[in-house]
Structure 1
Amino acid sequence: MRSINYIIVEVDSAYNNDKDIGNGINITVNTSIESVEHINRVAKVVKAPDFTMLEEGDEVIVHHNIFRLRNDQMGLEVESNYWIEDNKYFVPLTEVFMYRRGDSDWKALDPYCFVKPIEQEQPEQVQGIYVKDMEDNYKGMVKNTGVMAYVNESLKSLGVSDGDTIAFSNYSEYEFTIDGELYYKMATKDIIGIYK
């Protein structure tokens, strides 16, 4: 099949429901189709339209709904709206956030970028009570601050580089685990400034 408007990808599994806890032991950590955290977001390109920079064999990071199972009007579990057959799916280009070719590093695609959150320092305790205001963090991370990990071309043109400590807007922390590390996917418009 030749792709015209979408990239065609394949995945080993739509969900990452099992976790290796060592010594060859796997445990199931999720049994729900609703859990966004456990939906796979990494796929391999099978076909790509000629007008894109993507090529067969590239790895891509995509929106979680591409692979998400759903319930139909009868309550039966069915494949994603993007499912083609077996383990193949079509992906609109607007839902591809990053790609990696071979052994190269990930490259963010405009308008998306990925920010590494900064862990909040442990607050001091007074008689077992934390005195630091909990509003200063988000899930144990410094609120609205992170380190640019995968910058896009638009932000590069504005002087933002990988490794810069940046400020970002409220509620823009869309969590992704990539190569075992936590990142926030954001858009160019979510980046407020650079700390120098």
Structure 2
Amino acid sequence: MYDFIIKPVSGRYNNTKEIGGVSFVTNTKIESYKSVSNEAEVIATPLSIVTDIRVGDRVTVHHNVFRRFYDIRGKEKNSRSHIKDDLYACSPEQIYLYGDNKSHLDYCFVQPVVNDDDWSSQKEKPLTGILRYGNKTLEEHDVYPGMVVGFTPESEFEFVVGGELLYCMKSKNIALTYGDEGSETKYNPSWTNSG
């Protein structure tokens, strides 16, 4: 009634890398959120809501949907989203992108930029990035993809989408705009290409 039914696109975990035709496992810990796959295919949509997401669409979901964990006794368990086999229930709030990278609900994605401060040891410019995927709320305030934006501290959580590091946040976390993309260099660390 209220949840999407989804399945992972290429397994629950994204923890292998191919080098020279040999596949290597890059992480064996089930707890690490960076290794959990967040790409899914929609199998069924909720009956209780109207949505632009269709059966067969690819979606980017919260890492806890597919994640496994150890209970208090050390026994490995599925997330509470697991239904059976490779089917999972996913609430609308756990979907961040759908289709051809359209933001879902009030989410948006910002790509970090290289820090141009020669005196700083941080590689990326703090709380600044290029809006990559916006939404209707931001457009109503004349904020569009390609604009350099500032965002509030600790509002972002990282995703790798199409081999690029992006920060997902809500529209309300975009605090200001610096105008259109200019001399900024996108920051994309090498570990994002681990798949």
RMSD: 1.4
What's 1:129 paired with?
none
| Contact 1:71/1:77 (<8 A) preserved | yes
What percentage of aligned pairs have identical amino acids?
A: 34
Question: Could you report, residue by residue, the CA deviation over 1:165-191 in whole angstroms, capped at 9, with x for unpaired residues?
Answer: 001111223110011111000111110
Task: Give the TM-score, by structure 2 length.
Answer: 0.86
Point out where structure 2 has 5 or more consecutive residues left out of the alignment: 180-195
4+ aligned runs moved over 6 Å, structure 1: none
- For 2:32, which of 31, 35, 55 is the aligned residue? 35
Matches of 2:13 and 2:94, distance apart in 1 = 18
Q: Which amino acid aligns with 2:13?
A: Y
- For 2:104, which of 102, 106, 109 is the aligned residue? 109
Task: Give the TM-score, by structure 1 length.
Answer: 0.85
Q: Which amino acid aligns with 1:133?
A: S
Matches of 1:78 and 1:157, distance apart in 2 = 43
| Contact 1:45/1:58 (<8 A) preserved | yes
- For 1:164, which of 140, 147, 160 is the aligned residue? 147
SS in 2 for 1:162: coil
| Higher alpha-carbon deviation: 113-122 or 55-64 | 113-122
User: Does residue 1:72 correspond to 2:71, yes or no?
Assistant: yes
1:122 positional shift: 7.8
SS in 2 for 1:65: coil
User: Does residue 1:54 correspond to 2:48, yes or no?
Assistant: no
1:121 positional shift: 4.0
Matches of 1:89 and 1:43, distance apart in 2 = 10
Q: Tell which structure's C-alpha radius of gyration is larger.
A: 1
Give the count of matched residue pairs. 176
Matches for 1:14-33 after TM superposition, within 5 Å: 14-21=12-19, 23-33=20-30
Question: Could you report, residue by residue, the CA deviation over 1:72-122 in whole angstroms, capped at 9, with x for unpaired residues?
Answer: 23211011110011111010011111101xxxx310012110001102248
